[in-house]
C-alpha cells in the first residue's frame, strides 16, 4: 500500500469483521477511524463528511469492480451476454 491508502473501509461501514490484516514493513503513521468518530463528525462537520462518504463509496465501488472482474476470470462457466432490448 502507498501513502494515503486506506483499508478496513468495508468493516467500518458495515460493522463486519475485517477480511484481511495489514503488516507494515516500515514505520508508519495511521489514523484510526471508528463509526463513532464518523457519526460525531457527521453532526459537527456535515460538509466534510459528504466528501469523506463520497470517497468511501468510490473506493468500495472500485474494490467491488475488481472483485467482480476476478470472479468472472475464475468462473469456468461460459459468459453470456444480456438479451438485447
Per the domain annotation, does 46 fall within a domain? yes
The 3-state secondary structure of the chain reads: CCCCCCCCHHHHHHCCCCCCCCCCCCCCCCCCCCHHHHHHHHHHCHHHHHHHHHHHHHHHHHHHHHHHHHHHHHCCCCCCCCCCC
Per the domain annotation, does 82 fall within a domain? no
How many domains is the chain partitioned into structurally? Answer: 1
Per the domain annotation, does 4 fall within a domain? no
pLDDT tens string 2-48: 888 888 888 888 878 877 888 889 999 988 888 899 999 999 999 99
Q: With 0.85 as the threshold, say if the pTM is over it.
A: no
Per the domain annotation, does 81 fall within a domain? no
Per the domain annotation, does 85 fall within a domain? no
Amino acid at each position: 500500500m502507498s501513502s494515503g491508502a486506506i483499508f478496513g473501509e468495508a468493516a467500518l461501514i458495515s460493522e463486519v469483521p475485517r477480511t484481511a490484516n495489514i503488516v507494515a514493513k516500515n514505520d508508519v503513521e495511521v489514523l484510526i477511524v471508528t463509526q463513532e468518530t464518523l457519526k460525531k463528525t457527521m453532526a459537527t462537520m456535515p460538509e466534510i463528511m459528504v466528501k469523506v462518504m463520497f470517497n468511501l463509496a468510490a473506493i468500495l465501488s472500485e474494490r467491488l469492480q475488481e472483485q467482480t472482474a476476478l470472479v468472472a476470470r475464475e468462473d469456468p462457466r461460459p459468459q453470456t451476454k444480456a438479451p438485447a432490448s
